């Protein structure tokens, strides 16, 4: 074996010490999943704010019978302040608003 590689930042699942003793190269790919992870974090934020899971369950269980004004709306995030616990690569990527807009011409 000449190398052990992992996709992502973490390498805590690799015995680096053993690889070093055997002169096996260990590599990771920091940054390669930053944007995808930020996309997922933003999607989860939107799902919670808009109560997506709760509303999905409500409909699937047959509780929804007709549209009612204000029913199950959730909260918008436009103009809101979002706090970050840690502000590393992923937190900074989530905070970049330019990434969060899908333009119709890019479809």
Q: 29-68 pLDDT, tens per residue? A: 988 888 888 989 989 999 999 999 999 999 999 998 888 8
Say if residues 91 and 35 touch (Cβ distance below 8 Å): no
Q: Identify the pLDDT of residue 40.
A: 92
Dihedral angle, C-alpha 54, 50, 32, 102, nearest 10 °: 130
Q: How confident is the model at residue 24 (pLDDT cuts 50, 70, 90)?
A: very high
Dihedral angle, C-alpha 104, 90, 29, 102, nearest 10 °: 0
pTM over 0.85: no
């Amino acid at each position: 074996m000449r190398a052990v590689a992992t996709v992502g930042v973490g390498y805590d699942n690799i015995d680096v010490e053993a690889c070093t003793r055997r002169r096996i190269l260990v590599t990771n790919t920091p940054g390669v999943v930053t944007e995808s992870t930020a996309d997922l974090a933003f999607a989860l934020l939107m799902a919670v704010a808009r109560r997506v899971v709760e509303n999905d369950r409500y409909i699937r269980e047959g509780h929804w019978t007709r549209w009612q004004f204000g029913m199950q709306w959730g909260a918008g995030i436009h103009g809101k302040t979002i706090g970050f616990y840690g502000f590393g690569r992923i937190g900074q990527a989530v905070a970049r608003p330019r990434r969060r807009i899908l333009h119709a011409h890019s479809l």
